[in-house]
Amino acid sequence: MTTEPRWTLLEGEALRIMAELPDASVDAVITDPPYSSGGFTRGDRMATTSNKYVQTQTKTIRADFAGDNRDQRGFEKWCALWLDEALRITKPGGSLLMFSDWRQLPLVTDVVQIGGWVWRGIVPWDKGEGTRPRRGGFRSQAEYCIWGTAGGLRDDHEAYLPGWIHVPVTRNDKHHITGKPTDLMRELAKIVPLDGLILDPFCGSGTTGVGAIMEGRRFLGIEKIPDYAAISRRRLEEAENTPMLFAESPGMTSPPAPLFELPDPEGLELCAACETLRPLDALDFEDPEAPVCASCIDESFAEHG
């Protein structure tokens, strides 16, 4: 059983904290920074993040986040600063995975290279048809993960990952105004070898870390907003205390040792919908022969009302 925590969360301004981190100390930087987007005009960009990114019918109120009001030049220079620090902190051959929307995509692919990274490509994230439709045009159904490396590709990790990822956003897995799904971040975490260290300097609600821990990796997060730092800590603690059978890795012939001590098997039951082992208190036993977990109930509700 692992006794040392598999994650660390540092609270404060990202650039200031990153400057204190040692050289070549992380295996990857996987992050969803503020886009400074959400509109065509300066007035649009200066709106609060809840006004820019939350649909009017949404009832859940979440804290606004900082750093989303820069103009194009300010955004470019700010990204160049933290990307340069991130490169210094990353081991040779380590990866950068950085999210962007379509408006900022041309700039982000440039600034990744300005920051010294080798640009390797783009991984589109398909959010599904639950996204807002656009009359007379196409849905904004995708966001983009820009991939770069600190020099050449590492040769000690047999990873063969998809070039396109489809993961819908579900209500029960939304913890931040612009939060990404946990399953999406789990897929991205596989760019790092088992037990590797992933840095997210704009941690938000901690989903990068949750995905990393669930996939058998370690996590270092930085978050400036106290409300989101508290959410991150809670979710990371829950992820660390969630039983894991084993983390999959391409080319693995046998499961590695569990990261956590498994509970008595009598404390787990298979969800009839997703066929995943869940703790008994996370299941609905309305039908004793086919218990269903809360995640599947929420997804069914979202699909069928």
Distance between CA atoms of residues 1 and 14, nearest Å: 32
Same domain, 185 and 295: no
Q: What is the pLDDT of residue 23?
A: 97
Residue 256 maps to a domain = no
199 and 283, same domain (yes or no): no
In eight-state DSSP terms, residue 280 is G
Q: What are the helix (H) ranges across the chain?
A: 14-18, 42-45, 49-53, 72-89, 105-114, 182-189, 207-214, 226-240, 294-304
Statement to judge: residues 270 and 135 lie in one domain:
no
Tens of pLDDT, residue by residue, the chain (305 residues): 445 789 999 999 999 999 999 999 999 999 999 888 755 555 555 545 444 344 444 445 445 434 556 688 889 999 999 999 999 999 999 999 999 999 899 999 999 999 999 999 999 999 888 777 888 999 889 999 999 999 999 989 988 999 999 998 877 766 557 668 899 999 999 999 999 999 999 999 899 999 999 999 999 999 998 988 999 999 999 999 887 644 444 433 333 333 333 334 445 666 667 555 566 767 777 777 778 777 666 555 444 44
Q: Give the structural domain span for 283.
A: 265-304
Do residues 273 and 175 share a domain? no
Q: 11 and 47 share a domain?
A: yes
Instruction: Please give the pLDDT value at position 268.
Output: 60
Question: Is residue 187 in some structural domain?
Answer: yes
Do 175 and 79 lie in one domain? The reply is yes
How far is residue 113's CA from residue 97's CA, in Å, rounded to a whole number? Answer: 13
Based on the fold, state whether residues 42 and 94 are members of the same structural domain: yes
Residues 51 and 170 placed together within one structural domain of the fold? yes
Cα–Cα distances (Å) from 245 to 169, 248, 258, 260, in that order, read: 25, 10, 6, 9
The whole-number pLDDT of residue 203 equals: 93
Q: Is residue 257 part of a domain?
A: no
- 81 and 21 within one domain: yes
Read off the pTM. Answer: 0.71
Tokens standing for residue 134? 């656009």
Residues 157, 275, single domain; the answer is no
- Indicate whether 209 belongs to any domain: yes
Among 190, 223, 240, give the residue marking a domain's end: 240
CATH (domain of 232): 3.40.50.150
Provide the domain count of the chain: 2
Domain boundary among 207, 225, 240: 240
Instruction: Quote the distance between the C-alpha of residue 32 and its chain's center.
Output: 7
Residues 91 and 130 in one domain: yes
Backbone angles phi, psi at 198, to 5 degrees: -110, 130
Please tell me the predicted confidence (pLDDT) of residue 256. 39
